[in-house]
Structure 1
């Protein structure tokens, strides 16, 4: 894995894809066994490539298609019903049961609900954090305030965007980097390191002290307004920074402060004034034995309790503030530290970093976490081969070949290279079923309420994990020294528009 090893340079991901496509073309051209058939007669007469769609050809395709009874049956079923309902495998649905022989002993409750917002990363992270708090304070049910982190994340993202605008004034406005920055200045999504930034700066509070507002649960209108305002502000700041008038350039800082104050106003009106990170709150609650309790703390002090001896002991020695991200990106070298250019929320804060490893390394660390009793934050492409009603994620769930006579055969690397897949959702792993030392299926805590899956929990097949899980956040104690050393590398910088820059 080391870059200093003496070896021939490997093919790039693009070269591997081209080679794979070339082999497919050779096979389709007519292969028998290990030999490619070659017609040794006279070459066929040259015919120009037809570039337009032929109506007569399409009519002939339809005629031949409908001559097959199987296709007529498919037409009758698939034109009148949802394709996934028709093509769902009954056998897979039965086999993917909520039975696991390794499971964390304490799953947080209640099952959470992000509603019509993209805050899954905040829900997944707080679902990890709350387990330590619930055990420390002997609670039966508990939620941390996702809305509290949401408020400060929006304000921080606005500042991060405006600073990026000022730092890229030499880039063309219609260039890819600036356009990518403008595409979603304050989107709901995020990453583990972004949560870490927020918790370090603003702390945590119980959900009861800052519950969801309407706009926290339905964020699109708020996001649209703030995005429009920030794009307008960005154009103005670019013009000011390029002005030849020194007085205009010297007023940039004050102008930016005014812009942020306007964003703060919008957030305060739509989400409600959040508690101050440094002001003491009083949290009153009943523990699992029914005894009344009262705690006074600041949000920052409350979050620090996750690292105190009682919380660490409750988590069997794990300090959740020290967790870090493993990713599986087959396009890039394993044993490599990755980061994404200009991706983040808190300007000057902790950068987003990933340690790129193979799936065996990632799964081994996750199993150890679950055995220790610690829930695991992970990022995946939840829309692929999944059924949210039944709570199943399995690569064999739908038989598209049966319905359409087509096969989908891209590799994980090729899906990333062609933008067919990316991290779209963050959830939590709380169990695994292992047979003869091999993981078979995984238990997943989602944030789509108890109506999704089995009372809010999903089953993920191990094959699905291999193909569509990209990230797992783990304790450094559960990886090798070689993997931990990767954190000391100078990271390889991926472009902002890279699929690994997708925010869950």
Structure 2
């Protein structure tokens, strides 16, 4: 259908008769869409920063201009246990995000090459090859990949491998690595087409990975082989533990956390994705050789909430993945359904439900954080949730939430929270059994894929 002059004239005439939208026009032009439509009663009266179950108030971290939220929130989960067990002073300790980021980039590069070789016989126009070459690697991830990285490489204190200009803003590195990997893809596909032996291809691949490693060292620094862990606890007692490998450090101080007991639980009310059924996504699982793959069990939202509440009541925060781009104000630190009354202001009506929004790419997991508390009513139902973010306490000279913490309204949790990582013991037996069953493999282009 072509837009005609008559169509445009009719639209313009209709707008001239709409007094309410013309009033809104002045507010929006001067202040912007969100500032003009924010509901004051939602901000002030419905979202007090008070929680009946409150397990964590430690200083927040700052991922800066990188897509490492999934990694930060998982390392914050581990940090919580170290701070509690070792009586570390508030704000005095972080686990190095740069250390695990280094190996994340290396493993993703190796995983990309694995798939390029595996599907080298496919045409460049094949959907799978196009998917691989579109983004050979990127910053995103999920709970399972960081668990696989930690179990293979361990962790180190932040001072052992601190942030760099490149880890703080990974855009230049991502562009460079992707250029390198596309060159590598061309070379590997050519070797396969020429009928080179597996040994020759493997040798070429090792050389390519050495190049990736060198670039990462220049950008991040060389990962430490051994570290010294020295601290003074809140009782003013001095501690020193020297000469530990990163894996020894992890097993000694965090082995009892038992990350293997935490599993991915999702809520996707989508036709064709049954509840109490496990799913994996094709071409995920970046750490080759790891038993930890991106696996999820789909459950009703109430099951997800109750498992989260049980873990919080047991004194442990919960990693989660949500769509932070919807109805959220980062300065006020609020995520609340209908925080912005855009529909009324613009004369619109949005009708899609959670599953339909997911299927049509309107909403999907865009950010991972940690649930640090919940406010329950007299019947034990959640009212609001306390969220530890990884955006620091200030941004662009303005405060971020409540010293970096956010409030998540329970209705927002229902509509925009997609995943939690909770311990098996807090889930119904049938859900755990479903998780352990043979999973259905979703296509790599599925919107839930954390490693596109």
Question: Deviation of residue 306 (structure 1)?
Answer: 4.9
Cα offset, 1:250, TM superposition: 4.3
CA contact (8 A) 2:34 2:340 kept: yes
The correspondence for 1:274, drawn from 213, 219, 223, is: 223
State how far apart, in whole Å, the 1-side matches of 2:370 and 2:236 are: 28
Q: Which entry has the higher C-alpha Rg, 1 or 2?
A: 1
Which position in structure 2 is the counterpart of 1:110? Answer: 59
Shift of 1:437: 2.3
d(CA) in 2 for partners of 1:198 and 1:67? 60
Q: Report 1:475-486 matches (<5 A).
A: 475-486=423-434
Q: How does 1:56-205 map to 2 (within 5 A)?
A: 56-94=6-44, 95-104=46-55, 106-107=56-57, 109-140=58-89, 141-205=92-156
8 Å Cα contact 2:54-2:374 kept in structure 1: yes
Counterpart of 1:42?
A: none
2:418 counterpart residue number: 470
SS in 2 for 1:251: helix
Q: Residue in 2 aligned with 1:450?
A: 393
The residue aligned with 1:376 is 318
Question: Which residue in the other structure is 2:263 paired with?
Answer: 324
Q: What residue is the counterpart of 1:414 in the other structure?
A: 356
**1:270 CA drift (Å):** 0.7
| TM-score (ref. length: structure 2) | 0.94
Q: Which residue of 2 aligns with 1:8?
A: none
2:367 aligned with 1:425, yes or no? yes
The answer for the alignment partner of 1:338 in structure 2 is 279
Superposed CA deviations along residues 241-299 of structure 1, whole A, max 9, x for unmatched, are 1214x46x6411110001000000100001111112xxx32111111122221013221
Distance 2:27 2:438 in 1: 55
- Tell me, in whole angstroms, the C-alpha distance in 1 between the residues paired with 2:259 and 2:117: 35
Task: Give the aligned partner of residue 250 of structure 2.
Answer: 303
Unaligned runs of 5+ in 1: 1-50, 313-318
Shift of 1:186: 2.1
Distance in 1, Cα, partners of 2:64 & 2:333: 17
Q: Name the residue aligned to 1:287.
A: 233
- Indicate if the aligned counterparts of 1:424 and 1:503 stay in contact, CA closer than 8 A: no
Instruction: Measure the CA separation in 2 of the matches of 1:445 and 1:216.
Output: 21
Q: Is the 8 A contact 2:147 2:259 kept in 1?
A: no
Q: Which residue of 2 aligns with 1:28?
A: none
Deviation of residue 415 (structure 1)?
A: 1.1
Per the alignment, in what secondary structure is the counterpart of residue 339 of structure 2?
Answer: coil
Q: Is there any run of 5+ residues in structure 2 with no aligned partner, and where?
A: 395-399
Q: Contact 2:81 / 2:254 at 8 angstroms: preserved in 1? A: no
2:201 to 252, 262, 273: 252
Superposition misfits of 4+ residues, deviation over 6 angstroms: none
Rate the CA distance shift 1:430–1:501 in 2: closer, same or farther, 3 A. same
Shift of 1:207: 0.7
Cα deviations by residue, 1:203-262 (Å, 9 ceiling, x for unpaired):
011111111011010100011001000011012111211214x46x64111100010000
In 2, distance between residues paired with 1:190 and 1:502?
5
- Tell me which of 148, 172, 183 is aligned to 1:221: 172
CA distance in 1, matches of 2:301, 2:330: 24
- For 1:477 and 1:272, the matched residues in 2 are separated by 40
Deviation at 1:305, TM superposition (A): 2.9
Deviation at 1:302, TM superposition (A): 1.6
TM-score by length of 1: 0.85
What is the CA–CA distance in structure 2 between the aligned matches of 1:154 and 1:393, rounded to whole Å? 31
